[in-house]
Amino acid sequence: MDIEQPSRRTVVTLVAVAVVSVVLDLVFGAFRIRRTDGEDGRRVIESVPLPAPAEESDVSVEEAIADRRSRREYGERALERRELGQLLWAAQGVTEQSTGFRAAPSAGALYPLELYVAVGTPGVEGLESGVYRYQPRSHELARVSSGDVQSELQRAAVDQAFVEAAAVDIIVCAVDDRTTGKYGERGRQRYVPMEAGHAGENLYLQAEALGLATVSVGAFHDSQVRDLVGAPANERPLYVFPVGGRAQ
């Protein structure tokens, strides 16, 4: 039986359609990955760029240390995105791109800390309410959930009212396995908490330099905080930092 062969024009058309289809899939596939996967491959709703951090200011380190206080009263203004980015950079930002070294020292440069931001009211200019995870290498926020969780976070923090009153809450969690793989139990008991302290003090001093208010909170129910920020089971919350403008 004779089988009709496709014309040369038909073959060329089919090849062209296939090539265009592959190109479009690569382009839009990359776009989808960009919006749904974070730096470590975890699923996110979208990635939000932050303004480049400043590396100098009019406030000296000595002034920031002398003026640093725990401040539990906050103004009603929203934070600027620039301010939030500066705080996160001071705590865990990359300060040397070639090595990946960060603003806070880390045993073995293993960096077990993960920072989350609960954005509520008054929140941050240009950001929807929700929970975001800081991505240090790209200096971006990965939105992991929508909606204001600050009232729930206050209840998880044994009902400390200033947790909800702040513009945002920065939650410091730790993945102990990143450190214990090299240093064993000493990593979990000593090195990881030490690193959280380094990052926390950086955050305090940066808030002071920006004229913002913050306080370190350690009284909370770990599992409730973990669930609220969408952290996996292998992350343990170590700090909550309410941050806002200063009360007048």
Rounded average pLDDT per 10-residue block, the chain, 248 residues = 52 45 36 45 82 96 98 97 98 97 98 98 97 98 97 98 98 98 98 98 98 98 98 98 95
For residue 1, the model assigns a pLDDT of: 46
> Can you read off the two tokens belonging to residue 60?
């000296």
Q: pLDDT value at position 138?
A: 97
Domain limits of the chain? 1-36, 44-245
Assign domain 44-245 one CATH number from 3.40.109.10, 3.30.565.10, 3.40.1130.10, 2.40.40.20: 3.40.109.10
Separation CA 166–CA 208 (nearest Å): 15
pLDDT for position 5: 53
pLDDT at 248: 76
